[in-house]
Structure 1
Amino acid sequence: MPFFVVLCMILANSILFVDSNTTASVPSSIVSASAIANTCEQLQGPVVPTCVYLHSNVAILMEIEDTPSATCDLLCQAIINSDELGLNKQLASQVFTLWMTSPLLELQLKPTHKPYEIRQSWRALVGQYSHVSSNRQQRDEPKIMFQRNIFFPQHLEEKIKDQKILELLYEEARHNILEGRYPCEVAHYIMLGGIQARVELGPYNPQVHSTHYFREEQSKYLPIHVRKSSTWTWLPISSKNSAEVRLLEQFKRIPNSATNRKLMKKYLEFCWSLPFYGSAFFEGQVEQPVRGLTSLITYQDIPVLVAINSKGVYIIDDTQCSLLLGLRFEELSWEYARPSKEEDPNCLPCLFIQFMVVENGARVSKILQVFSRQASLMDTLITGFVNHIKAKTNDETDKAYEQQISNDNETHSSLTVGTTHHAPSLPSLTNKLSKLTLATFDEEGHCIGQMGSWSFSY
């Protein structure tokens, strides 16, 4: 199965698969290359030009024999073997993989998945897992992204020295920062924006890099909730605490001797310190606490992002870009629940998350309900990570229990209301529980607090 690969700068948000009966237009700036999979059989089948995108504003245009049969693993190897990217082939094959993403759904593909088939099934997948109207679903166009494999261990990533791989990881981390997916302090966003500006603009030039310049270009360096409202960008004056002034000051502080390599590594080192780094993201909603009559009248669910990585689960306010709840796997139990009225499209599946806190001097159990059509995907991913942790722990502590564990049919932790022997440890992150609607249980399993739509009978 021959591959022909070309690299080009992304000029537009083009459609994932080009009709095989049309000729793809190729900008003159494209550098052509070929990455031939010599070990593959020569298969006869349609050739559908396929674009794979990188977060570095580069697209890889691939022509693959028998495109419908090409697997994710095969496409990844073709990309990694491309001389233009210059990647360390052995390491890159572990760090990166293919994702199918759109504004409505993001899926990491398994090595045996066939991207063409996933693309053909996209409408059905979006219909099953998205929260938007059917009209919006029909307009959704996915892209194939070459990005970090969520299962690649972070402690190994932090040891990588290959510059090409670090650059791709930096670009992906920058994307998540600018999209507000990695909540942090405003000062940290300013610091990261300054580093990014230095990488992209070079050393400070007072003739070019003014407050006005960063006021006009701040969307390139800061997430939307940090930068100045576009309504007021016409004002010629900026306060000393404005985002653009602070961004310029941070940019000016970076010494001329700083290399892009060191700057990207510094950027990544900060992102590695974030507990939710390297997460997969899912859309959901949680009930807003009702306080008073006015709150009841204006009551709406809070849209959230559920970030899941190898360490734990994190609930992020998608509007305010703030961390509401962060729990390591050893601090939580969870349960997936199908909708009680499956025929009702407004009745959503949910994920119950249980954790322990100290309240008024006593240990109590809290349960959060996250509503989402993607709850089953979250459950599957959490199950995979927890099973991996269990297997690793058992392997390190007592080999004799391996067979017993493998025969255990329980695939995930059940809610442990009132069972202190299995109760998770206290959360290590600072959580904003007052912004969540939670049910509370004492150590005997009695419900001592109900909020929102919670209703229990004992």
Structure 2
Amino acid sequence: MEGDNCSFPPDLSDDHSQRGSVASSATLSRAQDVLVYLFGESAVHLSVEGLGSVSVQELGRSVREALQIPESAQDAFAFWLCSPLLELQLKPRHQPYKLCRQWQDLLYRFTDASEEDISQDEPYLQYRRNVFYPKSKELQIEDETVLRLLFEEARSNILTGRYPCDPEHWAGLGALSLALEEGAGLDSQQTTAKIREKKLPSFVPAHVATGSGGFFSTLRGKSSRQAELEQKLSKEYRQLSVSTGTSPEPQQLLHQYLRMCHVLPYYGCAFFCGEIDKPVQGILQRGKRKAVSVGICLDGVYVIDVKEKHVLLGLRFSELSWDHSYPEEEGDSHILWLEFDGEEDGTAVNKLLKIYSKQAELMSGFIEFCVELKSASEGGAAAEAGGETGAPQEPAGQEAGARNGRGGRRGMLQRQGSVVCSRVHSLNTISYVDNGKEIKRLKPKRAASFFARQAPAPTYSAVQTESLEQG
């Protein structure tokens, strides 16, 4: 599902004006029955008294009891109200039935869907990973039911391309998925037979299984590409069998799958849809835009090319400033602005990326909330350590970037062919230098933001974009 996503939903009052009720409000209230969907094509059926006023917190107790989720893992999941057009992570005090009655208003406010699509859209209730749940806590979970719920969601995001990954990554994940379904003791013939029986899209991302098309793909042929993918999966499966043995515990395989997913910086993100400007390569391409998915989590912001399935820009919060702006005239767009350090013709510059999205305000608020939450968490950890550590620790592999330059300028990126690496050179950005010298546009005015109130001192401030929109 690649619809617009907002995991930081606004609070709508119960008497909010309505353009009409949606069918799902009747569905949820009928006979006081609730279907809560899970990943992996399963659902939990509940009968709830007084469904019209039941809260997420109350509903959560019933679902956890039905799934036998231990109390230690109750914060790992949250309720989401989802449809192909919009996804909302609900707060404990939200009432799903009442939000369903306001669904069309949410679609008008936060999507560009047509009136016809909005009138036919129907949300469903889903129980899935809480976007604010730390990855480190997942690996402490031993309950197989909880691990399988996390696994099914992660696998879905891998197979649909929401989590872009490199060939060696998706092959390893595909092998683990096969081992979880069939065990780790299959021989070569059995492995190939099971892959063919269940079909490649059950183990590798859909865009990999179907191929990207084009002349060379046609020349090589579909069958040879399929055979190559089967061989790659079989090889990874054999290596897995050697390393884990023929009878590994399910928890071991589930932990291994999640650990591999944790390498992807956008694992656990809330995803928003938007567009960015394409680089101008001629008069005919002027004004064209590219669809992107914006992933935001406790670690940073990631802009992903929806078509090509690779990262265009990945920034930790210490490496960026942000702001959002509303349309000034009819036909203008809501914009999320991301500012970060870059380079142009050997000169260190500040770069601004414009992301057009009706959820720009939501993304901006979500970023600030994540920064506050992360800051409070790191502050608490530092206090427990007795103040021995001066600055919060950065994620592994990123320390060098944090030490280079103001705001943590990133070091040289490795493996530029990787889908995880940023492709700043392919972005259409606005560039300027610190002293105000014009390169493409004048440096915008700057104002104190949340970062200006944080320690350590060398951090960014938000960007005021009013003058840029007119230029």
TM-score under structure 2 length normalisation: 0.74
Structure 1 position 277, deviation (Å): 1.2
Cα deviation digits, residues 306-343 of structure 1 (max 9, x gap): 000001100000111100000001111100111122xx
Q: Relative to structure 1, is the Cα distance of residues 447 and 69 closer, same or farther in structure 2, using a 3 angstrom cutoff? A: farther
2:294 counterpart of 1:320: no
Q: Relative to structure 1, is the Cα distance of residues 262 and 215 closer, same or farther in structure 2, using a 3 angstrom cutoff? A: same
Partners in 2 of 1:370 and 1:262 — Cα distance? 41
Partners in 2 of 1:278 and 1:456 — Cα distance? 32
2:36 alignment partner AA: V
Contact map agreement 2:171 2:232 (CA 8 A) in 1: yes
Structure 1 position 440, deviation (Å): 0.5
Partners in 1 of 2:332 and 2:301 — Cα distance? 23
1:442 alignment partner AA: V
Partners in 1 of 2:361 and 2:34 — Cα distance? 29
Contact map agreement 1:190 1:247 (CA 8 A) in 2: yes
2:121 counterpart of 1:135: no
The corresponding residue for 2:64 is 80
2:340 counterpart of 1:355: yes
Partners in 2 of 1:329 and 1:182 — Cα distance? 20
Counterparts of 1:219-298 in structure 2 under 5 Å?
Answer: 219-229=201-211, 237-239=223-225, 242-255=228-241, 256-296=246-286
Q: Relative to structure 1, is the Cα distance of residues 229 and 187 closer, same or farther in structure 2, using a 3 angstrom cutoff? A: same
Q: Relative to structure 1, is the Cα distance of residues 159 and 445 closer, same or farther in structure 2, using a 3 angstrom cutoff? A: farther
Partners in 1 of 2:230 and 2:145 — Cα distance? 31
Contact map agreement 1:16 1:50 (CA 8 A) in 2: no
Out of 333, 349, 353, the residue aligned to residue 368 of structure 1 is: 353
The corresponding residue for 1:385 is 370
2:426 counterpart of 1:435: yes
Give the 3-state SS of the residue equivalent to 2:257 in structure 1. helix
Cα deviation digits, residues 275-327 of structure 1 (max 9, x gap): 1111001011101101134544xx63111110000011000001111000000
1:103 alignment partner AA: P
Contact map agreement 2:29 2:51 (CA 8 A) in 1: no
The corresponding residue for 2:87 is 106
Structure 1 position 75, deviation (Å): 0.6
TM-score under structure 1 length normalisation: 0.76
1:69 alignment partner AA: S
1:153 alignment partner AA: P
2:67 counterpart of 1:67: no
Aligned residue pairs, count: 386
Structure 1 position 209, deviation (Å): 4.3
Out of 89, 96, 99, the residue aligned to residue 118 of structure 1 is: 99
Q: Relative to structure 1, is the Cα distance of residues 432 and 75 closer, same or farther in structure 2, using a 3 angstrom cutoff? A: same
1:68 alignment partner AA: G
Structure 1 position 351, deviation (Å): 0.4
Structure 1 position 456, deviation (Å): 7.3
Gaps of 5+ in 2: 1-22, 384-404, 414-420, 443-466
Cα deviation digits, residues 10-58 of structure 1 (max 9, x gap): xxxxx86664796xxxxxxxxxxxxxxxxxxxxxxxx521110111322
Gaps of 5+ in 1: 1-14, 23-46, 399-421
The corresponding residue for 1:198 is 179
Name the Cα RMSD after superposition.
Answer: 3.1
Give the 3-state SS of the residue equivalent to 2:209 in structure 1. coil
Q: Relative to structure 1, is the Cα distance of residues 433 and 87 closer, same or farther in structure 2, using a 3 angstrom cutoff? A: same
Partners in 1 of 2:222 and 2:356 — Cα distance? 45
Contact map agreement 1:303 1:319 (CA 8 A) in 2: yes
Structure 1 position 138, deviation (Å): 2.1
Give the 3-state SS of the residue equivalent to 1:307 in structure 2. strand
Q: Relative to structure 1, is the Cα distance of residues 442 and 289 closer, same or farther in structure 2, using a 3 angstrom cutoff? A: same
Structure 1 position 374, deviation (Å): 1.2
Out of 153, 165, 170, the residue aligned to residue 189 of structure 1 is: 170
Give the 3-state SS of the residue equivalent to 1:364 in structure 2. strand
The corresponding residue for 2:157 is 176
The corresponding residue for 1:58 is 42
1:308 alignment partner AA: I
Contact map agreement 2:276 2:292 (CA 8 A) in 1: yes
Percent identity between matched residues is 31
Partners in 1 of 2:425 and 2:150 — Cα distance? 35
Counterparts of 1:84-99 in structure 2 under 5 Å?
Answer: 85-88=67-70, 90-99=71-80
Partners in 2 of 1:448 and 1:237 — Cα distance? 51
Give the 3-state SS of the residue equivalent to 1:210 in structure 2. helix
Partners in 2 of 1:114 and 1:61 — Cα distance? 18
Give the 3-state SS of the residue equivalent to 1:51 in structure 2. strand
Structure richer in helix, relative to its length: 2
Give the 3-state SS of the residue equivalent to 1:440 in structure 2. strand
Partners in 1 of 2:29 and 2:53 — Cα distance? 18
Give the 3-state SS of the residue equivalent to 2:340 in structure 1. strand
Contact map agreement 1:326 1:431 (CA 8 A) in 2: yes
Indicate the structure whose relative CO is greater, using CA pairs within 8 Å and at least 6 residues apart.
2
Give the 3-state SS of the residue equivalent to 1:50 in structure 2. strand
Give the 3-state SS of the residue equivalent to 1:226 in structure 2. helix
Partners in 1 of 2:359 and 2:143 — Cα distance? 35
